[in-house]
Amino acid sequence: MTRKFLAFDIETAKDVPGEDFNWKPHRPLGISCAATLAVDAETPKLWHGRAVSGAPAPRMSRDEAVALVSYLRGMVAAGFTIVTWNGLAFDFDILSEESALIADCKKLALDHVDMMFHVFCIKGFPVGLDYAAQGCGVKGKPAGMSGIKAPQMWQQGEYQSVLDYVAQDVRTTLQLASLCEQRRSLRWFTRKGTRADCPLPSGWLAVEQALGLPSPDISWMDKPMSRSHFTEWLGVR
């Protein structure tokens, strides 16, 4: 039976300098907006802070972040499986800080499907969302747009552009989750332009399940990443 996926993604509020998005020294980053998309919904549900006037606020308040956590918990209780692309190391870490619901966010993170982390546990390296979208024939990010640009655009009042961006990210995430679950594999284009494939014999694994996979051979890599890069904030190594 096909699982009921709920895609989830956030955009941060603080502009992080540099091109490598080394964000941890600059936290707290705040959340400018977020999007969720259930498999049985026609359009994404958008989340953002609101000023007294009703206009978008610079960042979501703690109460607004708590409301997002409560929604995610409720959807899980209703039988949905949350799915993200790099949500383990980023989205849920940020959300735990902004909501102060650390235990709740840790559980959500461990129980959800982070497709990028699952692939990392098998291959030993991460794959970008756009490369996966291209490989699977799914619409990816808008041309010229990225998560690094989103905070500055939000600060400049380009709210709709950022909301459109985060909405497209959850559409892409949900489509990839469903398609690859059905195909039992993920396909992507490498940076060299060649096709690659990652078999998923049991479909997508939740983070806690993926952590139980055997470590791949990474002896060929010059600077391999460890799983702790993704799980350190959980207290899991």
pLDDT in tens, 109-167: 999 999 999 999 999 999 999 999 999 999 887 766 677 889 999 999 999 999 999 99
**168 near 2, Cβ under 8 Å?**
no
Token readout for 32 is: 């400018």
Residues 34-63 pLDDT 10s = 999 999 999 999 999 999 888 899 999 999
CATH of 4-234 among 3.30.420.10, 3.90.1150.10, 3.20.20.140, 1.10.600.10: 3.30.420.10
Q: What is the pLDDT of residue 58?
A: 95
Q: Does the pLDDT value for residue 9 go beyond 70?
A: yes
Residues 131-143 pLDDT 10s = 999 999 998 877 6
As a three-state string, the secondary structure of 110-143 is HHCEEHHHHHHHHHCCCCCHHHHHHHHCCCCCCC
Residues 166-212 pLDDT 10s = 999 999 999 999 999 999 999 999 888 899 999 999 999 999 999 99
What's the residue count for the chain? 237
Q: Which parts of the chain fold into alpha helices (H)? A: 62-77, 92-99, 102-111, 115-123, 129-136, 150-155, 159-183, 207-210, 228-231
